[in-house]
Amino acid sequence: MGGKLAGIKIAMLGGDDREAILHKELLHLGAEVEAVGVPGVSAGEDYNCHEALLKAVQGAGAIILPVRGIDQEGLIYAPQSQFPLYITWELAAAIPAGTPVLIGVARPLLKEMAAAHGWQLYETADLDEMAILNAIPTAEGALLLAMQELPITLHGSEAFVIGLGRTGFALARVLDGVGARVTVIDRGAADRARAYREGWQAYPFSDMANIIKQADVIFNTVPALVLTESLLAQTKPEVLIIDLASAPGGTDFEAAAALKRKALLAPGLPGKVAPKTAGLILARIYPTLILNSLQQP
């Protein structure tokens, strides 16, 4: 079959429903895809994980690891695989220098492997084109969680959003859309001006101690400790905190528990609440990313 990825072998190692959608799109674009641990793609009868992974990466022009990534022991996220899949140093040695390796977020082990073997490592979750689109299902997922957990409607509630980046902005918009009274906390004067332009209240972090007691629900998107014990102590006892920032989040969860505040870390929302949309986002972005990376000198 022709297509812009014709003649390119791509190894897909692990993943969930999102990668299954991406797998279809890569085939549709003519790539030769060897997938191990991707839902719905047969692994064969006589299954030897290491051999299957090795065979997949041999001769591959690009390697796709799951958006959810691999852990620090090298375990590849593959919830529907019957067997655990590991990226080992031996497997890594079979991936030649210059090979594009795509993953959502890379932990130190993978970064070490990439540096040792000279791969082009792409952490796709932080690419603007991915993060801006993923902010939509993330915002909807956060809204869903808030609706499930709150005893009041979001309409008319005091909803705080900490950090007006890609996720924070999309979230503030949907909260506004359902009639919440939106307050944004951000360190940047320009972002606070944008919030003001949208009709939201906007404050710097230095004002948080004065206003946090108004919040019915607080969404954090800042990947640094911002909801400290002293701030948590000033929140309403019935406040709901939804922390969207990457683990460990930006909330002192121990302090929140001690103060009996309900605080939830909510990772991976796009894959949970809208796997099809999240898969289509991958399908939209990865083929071009792979082609561009293969054209690099």
The smaller minimum CB distance to ligand NAP, of residues 61 and 66, is found at 66
The interaxial angle of helices 128-149 and 166-177, nearest 10 deg, is 40
The smaller minimum CB distance to ligand NAP, of residues 96 and 188, is found at 188
| Minimum distance of ligand NAP from residue 159's CB (angstroms) | 16
Q: Which residues pair with 102 in a beta bridge?
A: 64, 122
| Minimum distance of ligand NAP from residue 225's CB (angstroms) | 8
The smaller minimum CB distance to ligand NAP, of residues 131 and 280, is found at 131
- Rounded to the nearest 5 percent, the helix, strand and coil shares of the chain are 45, 20, 40
| Minimum distance of ligand NAP from residue 52's CB (angstroms) | 30
The smaller minimum CB distance to ligand NAP, of residues 117 and 166, is found at 166
Q: Torsion angle of alpha carbons 284, 286, 287, 292, nearest 10°?
A: 120
C-alpha to C-alpha distance for 96 and 117, rounded to whole angstroms: 7
| Minimum distance of ligand NAP from residue 62's CB (angstroms) | 23
| Minimum distance of ligand NAP from residue 176's CB (angstroms) | 17
Residues at the contact surface with ligand NAP, assessed by CB under 6 A: 131, 134, 138, 163-168, 186-188, 221-224, 244-246, 266-270
Q: What three-state secondary structure class fits 103?
A: strand
Nearest CA to 155 among 133, 191, 182, 136?
A: 182
C-alpha to C-alpha distance for 172 and 184, rounded to whole angstroms: 8
The smaller minimum CB distance to ligand NAP, of residues 45 and 128, is found at 128
By beta carbon distance, the residue nearest ligand NAP is 165
